Amino acid sequence: MERLLNKCRIRNQLVRECMAECLGVYVLILFGCGSVAQVTTTQDKKGQYLSINLGFALGATFGVFVSRGVSGAHLNPAVSLSLCFLGRHPWLKLPFYIFFQVLGAFLAAATVGLQYYDAIRLYSGGELTVSGPAATAGIFSTYPADYLSVWGGVMDQVIGTAALLLCVLALGDQRNCCLPDGLQPVLVGAVVLVIGVSMGSNSGYAINPARDFGPRLFTYIAGWGADVFEAGGGWWWVPIVAPCVGALLGTLIYELMIEVHHPPTPSELQTSCQEAGESKTGLDLEEVEPGCKKPTPC
């Protein structure tokens, strides 16, 4: 068996990272949307709103554990975009990461749909609907509350994702808080949990374009139809665009208010001194005419 597995080993780093992102998001959505499916189809008899919060929080925790050693566990296009802007992730890899994050979410939604197929059919009376008392599209993707305007939804997603990035960057900032290595994924899940219990009622706290678009694409294909893109006044683009804006905003806030003010580390000081020395040497050499030796002090 070991020899067979060795033959399946992929050595291309980008492919390995993309597979890790796909599987990490798969775990996140499997537990997250699975918890929504259980609460919805049992009509709150086997779980309530807090169950959904815990499902997504623990899904995020284990998704990070699954993929962080290979890809860094972005699990979110908005996170990948922010890291690219910070210069911590290559722009060339961004479209590949996003594609496989969406793919992982799509496959997880398909798994939940298969697992809860009979329960969804029974609950909905055999009709797959996006709105109404027996709507089931919300098991997979987010939709706005009846009172929420589109721009209110945009602000909701911008604020929620900004909070996510601000906290995630703080957890990864070794000069701000040095955490045990195994604790970081747990605290990332705690961040998702606290966003869910404080910012979830408006539109379901997508805060992740892949988490929303992948399952929405599944519902479009699986029988819910074009209503998944038309509901909520054409809501579908909000959980894609607004989280990216919010992520950049949260990143900017953390960088400007915390990270840029850290004192330089010894290695940074040494690098700075070396660059200054090289710059001074270059200026000294420019002062010497070609063919002449630089005078030495007595």
Decide if 150 is inside a domain.
yes
41 in Cβ contact with 123 (< 8 Å): yes
We report the CATH number of the domain holding residue 151 as 1.20.1080.10
What span, in angstroms and rounded, lies between the C-alpha atoms of 90 and 70?
15
Decide if 271 is inside a domain.
no
Decide if 185 is inside a domain.
yes
Q: Given CA atoms 95, 221, 29, 22 in this order, what sign does their dihedral have?
A: negative
pLDDT at 217: 98
pLDDT digits over 241-282, tens only?
999 999 999 999 999 999 999 888 777 667 666 766 666 555
Ramachandran class of 72: left when φ > 0, alpha when ψ lies in -120 to 50, beta otherwise: left
pLDDT at residue 48 greater than cutoff 90: yes
pLDDT at residue 188 greater than cutoff 60: yes
136 in Cβ contact with 129 (< 8 Å): yes
pLDDT digits over 106-154, tens only?
999 999 999 999 999 999 999 999 999 999 999 999 999 999 999 999 9
- Categorize the per-residue pLDDT at 285 as very low, low, confident or very high, splitting at 50, 70 and 90: very low
pLDDT at 246: 98
Decide if 275 is inside a domain.
no
Indicate the pTM of the whole model. 0.89
- Categorize the per-residue pLDDT at 9 as very low, low, confident or very high, splitting at 50, 70 and 90: confident
Decide if 279 is inside a domain.
no
DSSP string, 182-248: GGHHHHHHHHHHHHHHHH-TTT-----HHHHHHHHHHHIIIIITTHHHHHHHHGGGHHHHHHHHHHH
What span, in angstroms and rounded, lies between the C-alpha atoms of 209 and 176?
28
Decide if 205 is inside a domain.
yes
State the residue range of the domain holding 45: 9-259
What span, in angstroms and rounded, lies between the C-alpha atoms of 106 and 210?
8
pLDDT at residue 289 greater than cutoff 90: no
Decide if 27 is inside a domain.
yes
pLDDT at 277: 65
> To the nearest whole percent, how much of the chain has pLDDT over 70?
90
Q: Quote the longest CA-to-CA distance of the chain.
A: 98
pLDDT at residue 286 greater than cutoff 60: no
Cα separations (Å) of 287 from 254, 257, 261?
Answer: 44, 42, 37
Counted domains in the chain: 1
Decide if 168 is inside a domain.
yes
136 in Cβ contact with 123 (< 8 Å): yes
> Which of 228, 208, 230 is CA-nearest to residue 219?
228
3-state DSSP assignment of residue 44: coil
